[in-house]
Amino acid sequence: MLLSKGLEIEMYTGTSDGQIVGLSERIVKDLEGFVLEPDSRNVEYTTVPLSSYDRLLCATILPRHNLRKYLQRIGNFTLIPGSTLSLGNSDRFYRSDLHNLYHSYIEKTYGTRVVTASIHINIGINDPETLIRACRLIRLEAPLYLALSASSPFLDGQITGYHSTRWHLFPHTPEHVPLFKSHGHFVCWTEEQLTRQTMQNVRHLWTSVRPNGDNRPYNLNRLELRICDLIVEPIALLSVVALLEARLIQLIDDPSLDPLIHSQLSPDELLTITAHNEKVVAKDSLTAQLIHWRDGRRIDAKSWIQELYQEILPTAKQKGFSCFLNPIKRILRDGNLAQQWIRKYQFGCPISLILAQEIEAVAKLEEELEDKLCQSLLVA
């Protein structure tokens, strides 16, 4: 059996030349399955938990297909790739719900640093101790997933020097989050943060990865990877999901992969390493020079991902989903979206044209996938 997988997908709306326009209030009112973000310029939808990759692909595409048709109808709008306000207006917050007190807190405390688009990947793990163990491992390897997904090299019409400007700017809250030793440790720590108001509610834990469930922190049933930039190409997105699932199956089968057992370094050293790795990956993505959590050796992100790919490949083959890993090799060869955009920019292509070309290419790809794959799957 494969693990269940669900996606939370945030996307910007706007015009075909890349200008972002806030439409979320209208979308949420008129379309089912979409929810508000604090700023009206992006909107979120969530897929139901699914084990099948084919069905997950269509669950990703079909809401977007319906949203595209709606956006065309209300004013020839479209969906904008990238994870930051690439062409501008990061100096102003456009509230989607003026009466939401949590949104008010977010605007006042963090401003537009949170007005980003991203992918949150949820993988089902029902046993709480296994889940906490999985969070320890994936937190230390989360920078690798950011390296694959980086798609935010621009902000306010300028190149920023970061491949993931989103993760560079995004507030990581609370300031210090330990490697949780057990479910009980997570419960006690969360209750303490709520008492001290370093967290406003149980959702206010903004780290690269966190335990999730319907009654946090007590009832948990999934790992949520939150570090990824928006992976706008559906097939590439599934490859990152497959890499994560294979790694988690490995850990479930072999609990000794737990960093508290498998690493030569102390928990404090592991936290220092992962903070360093997240920072340098936000800047340089696949070319970033990282520190490996197992033994402290230096390794670039691309080489580490190649090692991880070979390590998890037998597991993915045994479970029957290794074909979905193939796009990882293409990303490593051609670069992530941020690297592709930076190359175009360095060759003299304006940012607005880079976005317009990507908007058109992604819309065409989604239409082809919906026609060829999703319709036949729905009929079947």
* 166 vs 228: CA distance, rounded Å: 9
Angle between helices 326-334 and 234-253 (to 10 degrees): 120
**Residue 24, C-beta contacts closer than 8 angstroms, at least 6 positions apart:** 13, 34, 36, 37, 40, 41, 42, 43, 96
Q: What is the pLDDT of residue 374?
A: 83
* 132 vs 220: CA distance, rounded Å: 9
**Residue 257, C-beta contacts closer than 8 angstroms, at least 6 positions apart:** 137, 250, 251
Q: What is the pLDDT of residue 1?
A: 84
* 312 vs 257: CA distance, rounded Å: 12
Q: What does the block give as tokens for 41? A: 């310029």
Place of tokens 């009832």: 219
Q: Is the pTM of this model over 0.95?
A: yes
Mean pLDDT by 10 residues, the chain (380 residues): 96 97 97 96 97 95 95 96 97 95 95 97 98 98 98 98 98 96 98 97 97 96 98 97 98 97 96 98 98 97 98 98 97 98 98 97 93 67
Q: What is the pLDDT of residue 380?
A: 45
The alpha carbons of the chain give a radius of gyration, in whole angstroms, of 20
